[in-house]
Amino acid sequence: MAEYVKIKLNGNEIELPVIEGTENEKAIDISKLRAETGYITLDDGFGNTGSCKSKITFLDGEKGILRYRGYPIDQLAEKSSFLEVSYLLNHGELPSKTELEKFERTVKEPTLPVEICALLDDFPKTAHPMGVAASAIAALSCFVPRENLDITKIDKDQVLGQLMESISIISARFFRHRQGKKIIGSDPNLSYVQNLYNMMFGEIPSDEVKKALEVLLILHADHEQNCSASAVRVIGSAQSNPYACISGGLCALWGPLHGGANQAVMEMLESIQADGGDYRKALDRAKDKEDPFRLMGFGHRVYKNFDPRAKIIKKATDTVLEQLGVEDPLLDVAKGLEKVALEDPYFVDRKLYPNVDFYSGIIYRALGIPTDMFTVMFAIGRMPGWYAQWRELVDFKGSRIARPRQVYVGENERDYILMENR
């Protein structure tokens, strides 16, 4: 029997259907609320609002569960590759060997237009890599066949391959450009992760570093209806081309409360180091409600217990630091902060554990990647997830353009006042 919620408004009673997902998530369908009652709901930040039905990612913040297309994130991180996960997100099933090989060729085939390369070389070296990436991806739409801008004619896999390859080339090229180093081209004989690392550093990564980067990209590949995924869907709902949608996703990810969080972690650690490196003092400041200091990289808005990605990446972090033998006072501060916070009752009781942003920043720092590049590394991993979200949206026959309502709280109607009377 169908389940309904009854609401009484001004003496009238209406029934709103309850929608249940495959993981027993329940939602009240309010799509006809305004038409039948004249009322809307108000939900600042959309924390209680479901914007779509999706088959891509399941997240349970209370239990610390994250699954892509039903597959637990720990299994994918341990056994899969980033390109295999990218295929899974976009096609719904793990690929066969033949399907994966074809997909790998699709990703490796594209080259960056010379005009985009010239654009990257013209950006000031002080530019933020996220601004560069968002601009270059948007500009890429000017150099593709017109049919790749028409979502009714687009070859979705071909465009996905181009976007995935382009974001890695754009990021690596600007990384070397700002250092004044010779640009290293893409090598189709290398794996996706090896090629990215080689374009950045001019060498093939060790197996341990390759695995750590592979895991990082997989963990960042998708995360349900977060700010940037929602931005991609909202832009896509206007039937905008995928390059515009992805550029919008990049801009949303840039924010310090979203993808910029791992950059914020390093900046926090730098401030602690500048204050003498006393991480215990920093923890005391974080407990003080009167102190504006915030402990970045601990806790998560969605995960109320622990971030399942953090457990996975902590292991990779320890392996990379041991393998590289990096001596960095900032990383010593990070390790000390982690150890003390995990033992402090204040943080333990509130389940404020280190999250994925805390550990990813440590790995990137150890590899020699500058702090302001952290978010663009996040974006490389998130690209297939954004695209899967866009793809699901445009393939859904009942999709409507996003158009939230508001509750107006401004001035009532008033007459215009001439300048001489003001």
Kindly list the catalytic residues. Answer: 300, 357
The token pair at 76 is 């994918």
Q: Which of 259, 270, 268 is nearest to 377 (CA)?
A: 259
The token pair at 340 is 């003390």
Contact present, 358 and 298 (Cβ < 8 Å)? yes
| H or E stretch at 337 | helix 329-343
Q: Which of 87, 48, 96 is nearest to 68 (CA)?
A: 87
User: How many H-runs (helices) and E-runs (strands) does the chain carry?
Assistant: 18, 6
Contact present, 364 and 197 (Cβ < 8 Å)? no
Number of Cβ within a 10 Å radius of residue 80: 19
Strand duo 71-72 + 65-68: pairing: antiparallel
> What sections of 254-324 are H helices per DSSP?
261-274, 279-287, 308-324
The token pair at 343 is 């033992």
Q: What does the alpha-carbon distance between residue 211 and residue 194 come to, in Å, rounded to a whole number?
A: 10
**Around 264, how many Cα atoms within 13 Å sit in the side-chain half-sphere?**
18
How does 115-130 read in b/e, with b if 16+ C-beta sit within 10 Å? ebbebbeebeeebbbb
What Å distances lie between residue 289 and 127, 294, 295, 357, CA to CA? 35, 10, 12, 23
Contact present, 336 and 344 (Cβ < 8 Å)? no
Contact present, 140 and 149 (Cβ < 8 Å)? no
Q: Which long-range contacts (CB under 8 A, 24 or more apart) does 272-276 make?
A: 272/333, 272/337, 273/329, 273/330, 273/333
3-state SS class at 229: helix
Show Cβ contacts of residue 343 under 8 Å, excluding neighbours closer than 6 positions: none
